[in-house]
Amino acid sequence: MSAEPARYACGAPVRIRDLDKPGHVRTPFYVRNKTGVIEQVCGDFENPEERAYGRVGGARIPLYRVRFLQRDLWEDYAGPPQDTLVIEIYSHWLQPASGTGDVP
Amino acid sequence: MSAHDHDHDHDHDHDHDHDHDHAHDHGHAPHPTREDDDVALSPGEAKFLALKGMLVEAGLLTGDEIMRRLEINDRGSPHQGARMVARAWVDPDFKARMMEDPKSAARELDIAVTEAKLTVIENTLQTHNLVVCTLCSCYPRSLLGEPPAWYVSKAYRSRAVREPRKVLREFGLDFPETVEVRVHDSNADLRYMIMPLRPPGTEGLGEAELAALISRDCLVGAALPGTPA
């Protein structure tokens, strides 16, 4: 990571980027381009996308837990509207969103 | 190497456990295949043993390091998690410490958690929590031991995020529409344990009796504690 990573506060709306990056990435496809909110700021961790290839000891980057409404992840979600999912996302996969529910 | 790095290195091993999940899929002993196991190898297990041999030969890992890691996993057991939950049920101060810093709370009970970061998620009357690792098989092995075979299955990993209520019903849990079902994808650096609700009618029980009500699946969110006989 070259620039200082962006920091997000708990409750901030974020959108998951689709970096279209090959290799050992930890952001599954089902959350890409989806909008949620920061559930927890987890601290800084080494980037697994580097560590997986033996590049250990690199810069630590912020890791967040992001919360989504299930109905924002799956158009035909079968459960009630309050059901949620929380997933860990590294900062470079995040971008600020204007608010919740602005999924295209 | 700092203590944290040490933990982290171990923790990272878990991200690669999908390389030998096959051992579980085939119903063999709950540890990665060893060279002298008297069982027919699946292609995945044969690949695992070959890779292990290459890593040792290349000097990237020693046989001793692999054995020490396996010993940590063997020490892990659902009973350790159950002891933590039972203590938290009877001791609100311990519960507060456990929610804040689960690893140091575990040390109070002589439980060594080597994962980089452990998080305890509490079920409430309003929210039921379920853990899955969609990308591989991340699981707090040093605390709870090897995960159940269904946890590492592709079916569970894909369905738990997509149709959690249907999956929970197959486990015998049917939550009303007023309860929020919250799925936690354990996809990166954190590891999770669910703290179930204390069942009614257990007020008179001691810690050991309470711990006996808490099964492994309770600690993943796929079951509820039993009620005393």
Residue A103 belongs to a domain: no
The SS3 call for residue B131 is strand
Select the more confidently predicted residue: B229 or B117. Answer: B117
Q: What is the pLDDT of residue A1?
A: 47
Q: Please determine, for residue A39, whether its predicted confidence score (pLDDT) is greater than 60.
A: yes
Residue A102 belongs to a domain: no
Q: Please determine, for residue B51, whether its predicted confidence score (pLDDT) is greater than 50.
A: yes
CATH code of residue A21: 2.30.30.50
Alpha-carbon gap: B16 to the closest alpha carbon of chain A (Å): 9
Count of the separate structural domains present in chain A: 1
Residue A32 belongs to a domain: yes
Q: Domain map of chain B by residue range?
A: 75-220
Of the candidates A82, A87, A88, which has its C-beta nearest B180's C-beta? A82
Q: Could you tell me the pLDDT band of residue B100, with boundaries at 50, 70 and 90?
A: very high
Tens of pLDDT, residue by residue over B122-147, are 999 999 999 999 999 999 999 999 99
Q: What is the pLDDT of residue B30?
A: 58
Mean per-residue pLDDT, A42-53: 93
Closest residue of chain A to B178, computed from CA coordinates: A80
Of the candidates B135, B165, B188, which has its C-beta nearest A79's C-beta? B165
Per CB-CB distance under 8 Å, the chain A contacts of B12 are 48, 51
d(CA B166, CA B104): 36
Q: Please determine, for residue A31, whether its predicted confidence score (pLDDT) is greater than 70.
A: yes
Provide the residue range defining the domain that includes A53: 13-96
Tens of pLDDT, residue by residue over B81-98, are 999 999 999 999 999 999
| Portion of chain B with pLDDT greater than 90, in percent | 74
CATH 3.90.330.10 fits B75-220, yes or no: yes
Mean per-residue pLDDT, A27-38: 97
Closest residue of chain B to A44, computed from CA coordinates: B189
Q: What is the ipTM of this complex?
A: 0.92
Helical H runs in chain B?
3-14, 22-25, 43-57, 63-75, 78-90, 92-100, 102-108, 141-144, 149-152, 154-162, 164-170, 207-211
